[in-house]
Amino acid sequence: MNIDLFSPVNLSSYSLPNRIVMAPMTRLRATDSIPQSLMATYYTQRASAGLIVTECTMVSPMSNGYMNCPGIYSPEQIVGWQQVTDAVHKAGGKIFLQLWHCGRISHSSLLNGKQPVAPSAKAPVGELHTPVGKVTMETPRALEKSEISEIVEQFRVGAENAKAANFDGIELHGAFGYLIDQFLQDGSNQRTDEYGGSIENRARFLLEIVEAVSSVWGAERVGVKLSPSNTFYGMVDSNPQATFSYVLEALNAISLAYVHLMEPNETDLKNRAVLNPVTPLFRPIYHGTLITNGNYTKDSANAALANGQADIVSFGKSFLANPDLPERFKQNAPLNEPDFQTFYSSGEEGYIDYPFLT
């Protein structure tokens, strides 16, 4: 059987009409961390995806790293997300919520004056846009061991709230240098307790979160996103192949909905030698459903599916600029070009005004 982007696929108990996933993308259109009707329009426009994964969503006020990103820890946020899920479901779509904690990728001006937290007191590399302007990120405070279990509980409550908001499942953001990734990689995790040192110890935080959210959803409705070659914010690991091989072997035993693997981008490849490509390297290790992401075209995505490197392909910028991306792929129609200037702005421009096929 020849598998391509339009082959149906079973994901958990869901039957998806295609293998085209809308990747999670930070868009910063929430108001006071509450999702708005504009966001419902944005996601509903893209409901022809086999699955939508939302933008990263805060599990607590201390998980914040960007202005105007949404949360899932208050009743008002749950109601805000309900209007999104209701609209997507009415349009026939499926949607997972991505749960997220920024950790050290933050600033005290985003945290009511509190110091960002991380596995270790090691500053990230880079700058952030904050309420006080563009700033260099601060050195975080190393989490006390007792605080780690509190954050695991915040993810569990976030999973409960996602269920209350009528999502179809959740994805854990374990990539791109945020808190879960900070624990996984030894360049950011220099702890000496049971959450640091060995790969097994560094993976403990992720696996405890997976267990916690699976107690709410069942593991079959939980996905995990990983980026073994990410260099964002100065992320580095001394042996990423060993680290992520261990993580994927551990996840094999849990029967997740999927693992979402990120290929390196142009910046990663320029920064240093990284694992490239990622998906073919780890496909023999992970036995469950694998989603790959990495600037795929229709042709390169179909090739990855046909040769068994992945089961599903997610698309970011091309879905951002083409709300009807599956139909454009079906017709071999030209694609709208994304406007990078409006990725993180406010309002409708560059958000819900990209044209559909006539």
- Catalytic amino acids? 178
Decide if 208 contacts 150 (C-beta within 8 A).
no
Instruction: Give first-to-last CA distance, the chain, whole Å.
Output: 33
* CA-angle at 71, arms to 203 and 97, nearest 5°: 65
Instruction: 304-310: list long-range contacts, CB under 8 Å, 24+ apart.
Output: 304/279, 305/3, 305/4, 305/5, 305/7, 305/19, 306/2, 306/3, 306/4, 308/283, 309/279, 309/280, 309/283, 310/261, 310/279, 310/283
Rounded Cα distance between 347 and 349, Å, is 6
